[in-house]
Amino acid sequence: MSTSDPIDRFLQQEVASATPAKLHWLLLRRAHSLSVAIQGLWEKQDYQGAQQWLILVREILTELLAGIVDPNHPLARQQSDLYIFLSALLASAEQGRDTAALKDLREILEIEMISWEMLVRREAQTGQSAAASGDLAPAGLDFSA
């Protein structure tokens, strides 16, 4: 990434100053937008182009799963199960170019993205990380990616 490009500098600053919840939301947003792009590429029969985005979505889901630091916490287990399920949906979509599985993946990502966006907005309103304050996540539970 070129640091001379204003957009690149903005994105670097955005990531550098983001809370863990906002980073999580940004990753979900990117995975969702890539799933939309994959669908478009499949419709154009550009399977090689779609493959690079499928790999990136898989990497994002892996990153989100790796960000869960307390796998024994009930909320963390639910989150882990969700990302494992999404990974399985992605594999199904990829193996047979299954548009229904890709649609399901996209819809679930959208719901998850909206939920995390609500958390990010709440953090912005209160001026503190909701996870750090203990309001929305137990102490020691980190969903950052």
Q: Taking the domains of the chain in order of start, what are their residue ranges?
A: 18-129
Each as own residue / partner, the long-range contacts of residues 35-41 (CB below 8 Å, 24 or more positions apart, any chain) are 35/102, 35/105, 35/106, 35/109, 36/106, 38/93, 38/102, 39/99, 39/102, 39/103, 39/106
pLDDT per residue as tens digits for the range 78-94: 999 999 999 999 999 99
Six-digit token string for 100: 């229904």
Average pLDDT over residues 60-84: 89
**Fold of domain 18-129:** Four Helix Bundle (Hemerythrin (Met), subunit A) (1.20.120)
Q: How far is CA 71 from CA 44, 66, 67, in A?
A: 41, 10, 10
Average pLDDT over residues 101-124: 94
Pick the residue with more confidence: 116 or 7? 116
Give me the pLDDT at residue 10, please: 57
Give me the pLDDT at residue 17, please: 62
